[in-house]
Chains A and B, each alone.
Chain A
Amino acid sequence: AQSVAQPEDQVNVAEGNPLTVKCTYSVSGNPYLFWYVQYPNRGLQFLLKYITGDNLVKGSYGFEAEFNKSQTSFHLKKPSALVSDSALYFCAVRVHTGTASKLTFGTGTRLQVTL
């Protein structure tokens, strides 16, 4: 089955420090990978995606993610964390079922950025 895994329930980082939120995937064929963010009591917002091409993908709010085929990973990164980045982050992979496509999400990682 095609899936993504987020091994960390929570990541804590001090403001100004770099952050990494981990994601690994298991897919057949070429993966289409995504990161979404959920702020408290809000829906999910799209951050960035990897479809093909450059392994380093840049997205919203200064986030970027690195696609690593050999390690089957798609970690989310930011060079300097902000307190306002504190939220729940979801990695997702596109899954085809017959003629339909859907996103399968990981269990989420809560990012806590402190002063």
Chain B
Amino acid sequence: GAGVSQSPSNKVTEKGKDVELRCDPISGHTALYWYRQSLGQGLEFLIYFQGNSAPDKSGLPSDRFSAERTGGSVSTLTIQRTQQEDSAVYLCASSLFGLGNTGELFFGEGSRLTVL
């Protein structure tokens, strides 16, 4: 597609339920990033994929959070047993080769998660 696509754009769930957030990066982009943006906070790095592997998953806040990427393209971020503190906007970004060259990331519009 022309840009980074994320779905769903909005998700309301009950505490304790599992959620899956999807990211479809720009075609041909090998690097994919997940960030979390909480109200009043900056962007918090979660995980980075290069191809299908994740060389840096240091930002995942707990073992309830996991992510995978298949075919070097679509990525899914899964949050198990959601908690109210998981409420945030989850942003996905992609770049052509990772940040080795230009450092420019292309962001999707985010998935807003609300945990009741």
Report whether chain A binds chain B: yes
Q: Which of chain A's residues have a CB closer than 8 A to the CB of B43?
A: 44, 90, 105, 108
Q: Which 3 A-B pairs have the closest CB atoms?
A: A43-B107, A101-B99, A107-B42
Residues on B with C-beta less than 8 A from A43 are: 4, 91, 93, 107-110
Interchain CB contact under 8 A, B50 and A100: yes
Closest residue on chain B to residue A107 by CB atoms: B42
Q: How far is the CB of B72 from chain A (nearest CB, A)?
A: 16
Interface size on B, residues (CB 8 A): 26
Contacts between chains A and B (CB distance < 8 A), count:
66
A102 in contact with B109 given A49-B104, A107-B42 (CB within 8 Å): no
Q: Provide 19 A-B residue pairs closer than 8 Å at the C-beta atoms, listed in order of the A residue.
A: A32-B99, A43-B4, A43-B93, A43-B109, A44-B93, A49-B103, A90-B42, A94-B99, A94-B103, A98-B55, A100-B48, A100-B98, A101-B100, A102-B45, A102-B99, A103-B33, A103-B99, A105-B35, A105-B42
Given contacts A100-B48, A106-B42, contact A46 B56 (CB under 8 A): no
> Measured between C-beta atoms, what is the minimum distance from B16 to chain A in Å?
28
A101 contacts across to B, CB distance below 8 A: 48, 98-100, 103
Total number of A residues with any Cβ neighbor in B under 8 Å: 25
In the complex, the answer to whether B103 meets A100 with C-beta atoms within 8 Å is no
B55 to A103, Cβ gap below 8 A? no
Q: Would you give the shortest CB distance from A48 to chain B, in whole angstroms?
A: 10
Is A63 located at the chain interface by the 8 A CB criterion?
no
Chain A residues with a Cβ under 8 A of chain B: 32, 34, 36, 41-46, 49, 51, 90, 94, 97-108
Return chain B residues, CB-CB under 8 Å to A100: 48, 50, 55-56, 98
Q: Is the CB of B102 within 8 A of A49?
A: yes
Q: With A49-B102, A94-B103 in contact, do A44 and B42 touch (Cβ < 8 Å)?
A: no
